[in-house]
C-alpha cells in the first residue's frame, strides 16, 4: 500500500484499544492499557466508520476484546489460526522491537500470514 492510500482517512482508520498513553513501567515498557477505554469508547466510535471491510486485531489486548472466547490459548496460536477468523478479521502480533524473537521463532508469519494480508489489502484497495 502506498503512502497516499495509507493516509487517506476515507479509506483507512486506526482505532487504538487504549485511546490514551498509559505511561511506562519500571522496565521501560508501556504500562497495561486502562481496562475501561475500549468498552467505553469503541461502541461510540465504531458507528462512525460506515464500511469496515477489514479489521486488524493488533496484539493480545485487541484479540482478547474482539475475539473473546474465539481466540486460542496463546497469541501465537491465535495469530497462526488467522485464516479461521474470516476475511474481515485478521489477528496480528503487536509490532514492537520486543517481538523480534517471536518473529524469528515463527517463520510462518512472514511466509504465510503476511502474503495473505497483502493479498487481502490489495483486493480492498484496488
pLDDT digits (tens, 9 = 90+) for 50-97: 899 999 999 999 999 999 999 999 999 999 999 999 899 999 999 888
- Looking at the DSSP assignment, which residues form a beta bridge with residue 114? none
Angle at 37 between CA 98 and CA 102, to 5 degrees: 15
DSSP label at 93? -
Whether domain 50-126 has CATH 3.40.470.10: the reply is yes
CB 71 within 8 A of CB 81: no
Banded model confidence at residue 126, pLDDT cuts 50, 70, 90: confident
Q: E strands within 1-126?
A: 55-58, 89-92
* 22 has pLDDT over 90: no
Domain definitions of the chain by residue range: 50-126
Residues sharing a CB contact under 8 Å with residue 56, sequence separation 6 or more, in sequence order = 90, 92, 117
Mean pLDDT of the chain: 92
Amino acid at each position: 500500500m502506498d503512502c497516499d492510500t495509507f493516509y487517506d482517512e476515507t479509506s483507512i482508520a486506526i482505532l487504538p484499544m487504549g485511546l490514551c498513553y498509559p505511561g511506562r513501567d519500571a522496565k521501560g515498557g508501556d504500562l497495561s492499557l486502562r481496562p475501561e477505554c475500549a468498552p467505553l469508547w469503541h461502541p461510540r466510535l465504531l458507528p462512525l466508520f460506515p464500511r469496515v471491510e477489514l479489521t486488524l486485531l493488533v496484539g493480545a489486548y485487541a484479540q482478547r476484546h474482539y475475539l473473546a472466547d474465539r481466540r486460542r490459548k496463546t497469541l501465537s496460536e491465535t495469530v497462526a489460526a488467522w485464516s479461521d477468523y474470516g476475511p474481515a478479521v485478521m489477528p496480528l502480533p503487536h509490532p514492537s522491537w520486543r517481538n523480534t524473537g517471536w518473529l524469528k521463532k515463527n517463520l510462518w508469519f512472514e511466509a504465510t500470514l503476511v502474503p495473505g494480508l497483502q493479498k487481502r489489502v490489495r483486493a480492498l484497495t484496488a
